[in-house]
Amino acid sequence: MPQSRRTFLSHSAIAVLSGAASELLPCCGVRAEGAEGGSGILLGFSTYGAKGLKTESTIDLIAKTGFDSVEITVWPDWDASPANMPQKRRTGLRNQISDCGLTLTSLMEHLYPEIDDAKHKTSLERLKSVYQLANDLCPDRPPVVQTVLGGGDWAEKKSLFVDRVGDWTALGKSHGVVTCVKPHRGGGMSKPSEAVWLIQQIGDRKWLKMVYDFSHYAFRDIPLKESIQNALPYIGHVAVKDAVQTVAKDGSKSRVEFRLPGEAGTIDFVTILKTLNAGGYAGDISCEVSGMVSGKSGYDPVAAMKTCYANVSKAFNEAGIKRA
């Protein structure tokens, strides 16, 4: 059985913020909270949809397309992983984000809770480097760090999730960074209600939140508006994309596949925006390009950005919501 997070953390050298971050220039941006003339909601794009491009090039493209915010993917094999970000590059990236008029709202990780204590310790070290990157890029108000939790059965995994994610949350808190966990279709945690339960069990709603992405709940008898209203106090980040349910040759419903947001018209983004806005959500709506899309031959990240912006900015207009 894994150690409790209190026991584990008492034997782990978890560093607090280093003085280096305070020597950087002012923060690249602050997540909107009822910004003057706007709703407090930003429209963003995740670099997850542009793996083949340098992060700096992607940020320029995101800004030129018209987005307000950016999420940066920081997986170990990606361009913006902490190992690929020496201090000089961090400072340059931070200045670039500010100069482009963007807000850095999220860093995307891909880390699963480990039952083995040694592997869990390695995960904490990996997360520590991501939390430090968040501070180096925006120390005044760091972006959230988000991840899914991997596969498995909820009933079997939820105790492990409480223990391990509790450690992640404590580590993030020591760095002043909010940790966000994402219910993922087919994952060990797959429903917004499960994420709410997890956050309640860990008991630190300030430093642990959830990512809301209805594409993972569509076609599952999870009501859209009700699920948002129930999750709102716990939401720290919102991702959007389309989902379609394919039909097998025998006429039976098959697997769910993802599309660019607004491309298939299967998800009501206007209702999502209105419900979030009415509930006082202050953060970004991040357009996410699924690997199902970006992994196809001929995928064009620039064209994808333009499609995402056109479709989701239209939803903002139809919802009557002015972006922050």
We report the CATH number of the domain holding residue 294 as 3.20.20.150
Locus of tokens 């200045």: 95
Residue 174 lies in a domain: yes
Residue 256 lies in a domain: yes
Residue-level pLDDT at 251: 72
Q: Is 175 helix (H, G, I), strand (E, B) or coil?
A: coil
Nearest to 246 by CA among 287, 214, 218, 222: 218
Residue 293 lies in a domain: yes
Residue 34 lies in a domain: no
pTM of the predicted protein model: 0.88
Going by pLDDT thresholds of 50, 70 and 90, the confidence category of residue 2 is very low
Residue 29 lies in a domain: no
Q: How many domains does the chain have?
A: 1
pLDDT digits (tens, 9 = 90+) for 293-315: 999 999 999 999 999 999 999 99
**Whether the predicted pLDDT of 18 surpasses 90:** no
Q: Which two tokens stand for residue 306?
A: 């333009």
Residue-level pLDDT at 7: 40
Q: Is 75 helix (H, G, I), strand (E, B) or coil?
A: coil
* Amino acid type, 34: G
Residue 47 lies in a domain: yes
* Amino acid type, 71: E
pLDDT digits (tens, 9 = 90+) for 58-104: 999 999 999 999 999 999 999 999 999 999 999 999 999 999 999 99
Question: What separation, in Å, do the N-terminal and C-terminal C-alpha atoms of the chain show?
Answer: 47
For residue 303, the enclosing domain spans 41-319
pLDDT digits (tens, 9 = 90+) for 239-267: 999 999 988 777 776 789 999 999 999 99
Kindly tell me the burial class for residue 270, based on how many C-beta atoms sit within 10 Å of its own C-beta (0-12, 13-18, 19 or more): middle
**Please, are residues 39 and 324 in contact by the beta-carbon 8 Å criterion?**
yes
* Amino acid type, 64: K
**Please, are residues 210 and 234 in contact by the beta-carbon 8 Å criterion?**
yes
Going by pLDDT thresholds of 50, 70 and 90, the confidence category of residue 27 is very low
Q: How does the average pLDDT of the chain come out, rounded?
A: 89
The stretch 146-171 carries a mean pLDDT of: 98
Residue 252 lies in a domain: yes
Residue 91 lies in a domain: yes
